[in-house]
Amino acid sequence: MTDCLFCKIVAKEIPADVVLETDRTLAFRDINPQAPMHVLVIPKEHHANAAELAVADDGLADDVLKTAHEVAVREGVAETGYRVVFNTGPGAGQTVFHVHAHVLGGRNLTWPPG
């Protein structure tokens, strides 16, 4: 998609602080972090939200979650705990309509969230 911010990041048209890249996923630091470690993990293929991702391709959602866990390991928060959040739709706070997992850690994360 030519007007999608995250597709432009995948295409290297817009710079990002990349943490991890695989054949099918890209992980980069959030520009407005909500925790000491806040990384977004996206599939390189465009899907608008988590619901579309779930039905789109066998294994792609799994690849996103595996990348999220690898980010937590590399960032040193896997042992102490981290949160993975998918906002799906405007009512849930999704503002960029390319599915993305927020991986947050590095501080105590309270419940319920925001």
Q: Which residues are designated catalytic?
A: 100
Token pair listed for 110: 């309270």
How many helical (H) and strand (E) elements, i.e. helices and strands, does the chain have? 3, 5
Phi, psi of 14 (to 5 degrees): -125, 130
Given a contact cutoff of 8 angstroms between Cβ atoms, the answer to whether 41 and 105 are in contact is no
Helix (H) or strand (E) segment spanning residue 10: helix 5-10
